[in-house]
Every structure is written in C-alpha cells, then in structure tokens.
Chain A
Amino acid sequence: MGSWAFLGVCGAAAAGIFSAALLIGNDYAFFAGYVVLQFIVLAQAWNILGGYTGYVNFGSAAFFALGAYAAVFLHKLYPLPLPVLIAIGGLVSGLAGLGMGYLTLRLRGAFFAIATLAFAVVLQTFVVNWNYVGGARGAYVIRPDSVWLVGSYVHYLFLLMLILAAVAVAIARAIERSRLGYGFATIRDDELAAEASGVPTLRLKLVATTLSGALMGMAGAPFPYYIGYVQPAAAFGLDYAVNAIAMPMIGGAGTWYGPLIGAVLVASLQQWATVSISSELSLLVVGLLLVGFVIVAPAGIVGLVHRLVRVWASARGRSKSVEASAS
C-alpha cells in the first residue's frame, strides 16, 4: 500500500474512532481518549529519532512543553484558532530540535541524550522565570465552551488530537518505507559504515531531530486548552519523558506499529490505574515495565509476537515433515 493510501486508511480509522466515541456519548471517554491519542503522537515522535535513527531523547517533556507554552504565549498575545497554534507549536519545537541536534549530534550519541535531559531543566528554568506566561505560578487558559461545527470543545480537542495521531502514524510508516527511513536505519546500525558509504549522516540526523521535535511540539500545543491550567512542573513532568520512551520500547521501537501498540496499551493501563489505584503507582508500573522489557524483550511486544510466530511456524514445519516421512 502506498503512503497516501495508508494516510487515507488512517483517516478512515480516525473517523471510525470518532463516531464510536460519539456513540458512547460519555465525556470521560473523550477526556481519557485524548490522553491516549496524545501519547500515540509522542511515542511516534520519539520513535522517529530513537527507534529509526538510534538516538535517545530524554527531553521529550521539553519539546512537549515548548509546544504548550508557545500556545499559552500566543493565547495571551492574540486569539488564534487552535490548528494554527498546533502548527506554530510544531514549528517552535522543530526549530529547538534542529538547534539541539546541530550542537550535539556531531559527537557520540550519549552526549545528545544528556544534552536533551539538561535542555529540559534549562527550558523549565526559563519558563519559571518568564512572568508573561505565568512563571512558576502557572497560567490559566480559558477555553471556549463550544466550537463551530463540532460542538463541545472537548470533542474538538479529541478530534484534533485524533487527526494528529493519524498523521503521525502515517508519517512514521511513510518514513519507514522511504530512502529517508533506510538512511536512518543505516545510522542506527552502523553510523561509521554509513558515513563511509556516503550517507549524509549529519543531515539525516538533523531531519530526524527536527521532525521528532516538531511532532512533540504539536502534541503539546493543545495541552493548555485540555487541562485549563498549565504550570511548569506539570508540562515538564518527567512522566512525559518516561512515557515517550517506555511506550515505543514496550511496543517495539523501530516499527510504526510498535509505538502505536505500546502507546494504546500503556496509556490505557495508566488511565485505568490512575482512576482505580493511584497515579504514583501507575507511574511506577510504567517504569518497571520499561526496565523489564528493555532487559527481557528488547524488541518489545512486536518482537515477542514475531518470535512466537517463528517458533510456531518452525514447529509446524517440523511436524509436517515428520508426517511426510511417516507416510
């Protein structure tokens, strides 16, 4: 299937999900669904850099928060429609990704990972000191009650995030099957060999950091409208960074469906655990799952399934050959 056709399939799936959510009719389904969708975007974004290219980004929260605070800033400056804010949030975070990649990607991969962590702390420092967007106190964003054509604002947010998630999945799949994706994979598997055979590694890495950052920023831009009150500690929370890594790793990094599976499973689990147990404990579960999967099943759920299928196929092949030799 071509990438455009697949985008169409994603769009159809999104339409199906939206009408199903409308049928349920419960606003909580939209609230919880929004979070799951947001994590699909974050997981796909992380996967572009971490899964395809092999560079670990610990600062997902920073790119996410950058998008959110770009929206807060513009919200206070001049009222703009939310899709425009999402585009601007993506632009700002994409530029941040480009700058950070340019400064650190010429060195070993570990430096990039550490720089992303430090970047989150520094960006938080700036936001805490920036009174216009609320500083450490945080900022209230009052959302309109309803939106033209969609109705309830929560439905509108859900719809936007759904479209974003569909686009993110389609982009990830398109990358995987393009020259760009093969270039990313060569960097992940052996950067030196890739460089030696003429792959423009630095340029490709910059494309990956920019794209990944932009998607994270886009996921963050509607956040202030969703939550109504943004505070630096919430937007820069470590749980976003952990989830953005854990979901692709648990699902299966380096494939477009791995992060999708991981995000849907882990985010739903978290939504359920937050309501029924406690939010701290649900975070602990994510941390333990991450460490467990990294040690035991490095290719995630997708890898586990592949392994099972292979074992099953070889077992069936063997029994067939036994039957053949018996007869």
Chain B
Amino acid sequence: MDLSSDLLINALVAGLLLGGFYAAVTLGVSISFGILDIVNIAHPAFIILGSYLAYLLNSWIGLDPILASVVMLPAFYLLGSLVYGLYHAAFERHGQESLRGLAFFFGLLFITEVMLILGFGVDYRYVTAPYIGPNLHLGVLDLPLRMLVPCLASLVLFIGLQVFLSATFTGRAIMAVAQDQLALRLVACSPTRIKRIAFAISIATTSIAGALLIIIQPVEPSIGRDYIGRVFAICVLGGLGSLPGMLIGAMLVGIVESLTSTFYGPSWAPAVAFGFLLITLALRPAGLLGR
C-alpha cells in the first residue's frame, strides 16, 4: 500500500514536470495554429533542429544547453520570419493555404529530418550539464533535476510570453489578428507584419524547447514525429488560442502519460495523447478554455 502510494505520488509529480516541459513544446503551436491559423506541422522538426544546435554548442564549447538556446534565439526568429515570408507569398496571399500550405509544411518537416539524418546520422545525441544526473530528494519524492530544470525554464518562457501577449502593443495586436484584421488595419497596423512577428516568435520558442528536450532525453532526428500528435492534442485540448488552457492541457497529458508509463509500461505512452485528441475532437472541439 505504502509502496504503491509512493509510486503514485512520484508518477503524479513526474507527470507535472513532464507537462511543464510539454507546455514549452506546445507554446509555439499555440501561437501559430491557435492564434494565426497556420497549421505548422513542421514545428516538432524545428524543435529537433533546436536540440541539435544546442548539442553542437554544448559539445564544441561546453555551453550550457539552455544558454545555448537563448544565444540561438535570434537565428530561429529570423528563420521563422523567412518561413512565414515564403508561406505568405506563396499561399496565404492567394487564399490557398489549406491544402498546399499543409503539403508545404509537411515537406519542410521531411526535409529538416532528412538533412539532420544526412548531417548527424541516426545515432542518439545528448548534452552534458551539471543538472543532468542528480536527484532532489524531498521525503518520498524523487525529483530528477533533468526534469525539474526544463519544467521551470518552460514556465518562465510561458509567463514571459503571456505577459508579452497581454501587456504590450505588439502582443495585443497578435491576439487581435486572430479576431479582426480590419480593425487592426484601422489602427495603422499591418496584419501581415504582425503575423510575421508572431510566427517568428513561435519558431523562436522551438530553440528553447529543443534545448529542453535534449536535456530530458537523448535525441535522434526522427523523434520529432512523436511530438506532432502530442503537440496538437495539447493545443486542441486546451482550446485554440488560449495559452492558459494550453498549460492545463499540457499538464493533463503529462500526468496521464506518466501514470500510463508507470503502471502499464512506457511503450504505451504515445497512444495517450492521441486518445485525448480524439476524445476532445469528438466531445468538445472548442477545448477546455476555448474561445
């Protein structure tokens, strides 16, 4: 009894930490898919790219992975800006974003993955940092620092973005672009420019999410695929366009996945997110805190 309740508490806490990390992974999609209506399914591929860049900086000059990802932020912002420019010029401007835009992002996902395989092979890569390895013991709780640090970093990122979106002019313009583009034009603000900034921010988050991912687990090019279902499930579960809803969704998926892998085995965990996605789509398509 005691043993299993310990196990349960540990699984719950591990799930919360995992959920915190999932929030960082999903943040970008919440912006691009939830607010801008751009179905960027290549998002997880950019996250893996972020992991590999953090790995490179870590193995070359021993830079801390999170610090490395912060250094890479401008590069990812630029990349996002370029991708949006291409997307807008080729599809959005003509109103043909649905089918061809999806194929475009799918192509990007595939190209990124194959390039990473060509560059690094399919071996698992990992980073070294002082907080990878040791555990924090609190009574019956075992807190692995390699989970705790990403969770905290993710929460900082989440709070930062939430404040940015609700308190600054640009942030509020980003929220407005989803609701009324004409009104945005009336305050002399170009919707395209705002969308470009927002999309670039969503790609910039993948730099940090990628570094957090490679702290948590070793990375190889194709594991991004596991995150596609998860990321969109969390985004839909929380309600499109709602960041707090997304955080709750991430925590829920994290906890259920952690319970599943503790009590049924880790190989079943990927199915959890899909179950959530299907149930949400069937029962409440607007999500938990949907607009």
Contact = CB atoms under 8 A, between A and B. Distances in A.
Interface of A: 50, 54, 56, 58, 103-104, 107, 109-111, 113-115, 117-119, 121-122, 125-126, 128-129, 136, 238, 241-242, 245-246, 249, 253, 280-281, 283-284, 286-288, 290-291, 294-295, 298
Nearest to B33: A110
Contacts of A136: 267
A144 to B, nearest CB: 34
A118 B228 contact: yes
B111 A284 contact: yes
Contacts of B111: 284, 287-288, 291
B107 A291 contact: yes
B39 A113 contact: yes
Chain B interface mostly: helix
Contacts of A288: 107, 111
B278 A115 contact: yes
Contacts of B270: 121-122, 125
A126 B265 CA distance: 12
Interface stretch (B3-11, B68-76, B112-120): B112-120
A109 B228 contact: no
Interface in B90-118: 90, 96, 98-100, 102-104, 106-108, 110-111, 113-115, 117-118
Given A109-B98, A115-B278, A294-B104, 8 more contacts: A107-B281, A111-B285, A113-B102, A118-B232, A129-B268, A249-B103, A281-B118, A287-B114
Contacts of B108: 291
Given A110-B98, A295-B90, A287 B118 contact: no
26 contacts: A58-B41, A58-B102, A58-B106, A107-B281, A110-B98, A111-B236, A115-B281, A117-B228, A118-B229, A118-B273, A122-B275, A125-B267, A238-B113, A238-B222, A242-B106, A242-B107, A284-B114, A287-B107, A288-B107, A288-B111, A290-B103, A290-B107, A291-B108, A294-B90, A294-B107, A298-B100
A137 to B, nearest CB: 13
A1 B229 CA distance: 45
Interface string B32-70: 010000010100000000000000000000000000000
Contacts of B274: 118-119, 121-122
Contacts of A113: 39, 41, 102
Chain A interface mostly: helix
A302 to B, nearest CB: 15
A50 B273 CA distance: 25
Given A114-B39, A281-B118, A50 B99 contact: yes
B225 interface: yes
A311 B274 CA distance: 49
Contact of A238 (B110, B115, B232): B110
B118 A110 contact: no
B91 to A, nearest CB: 8
B282 interface: yes
B180 interface: no
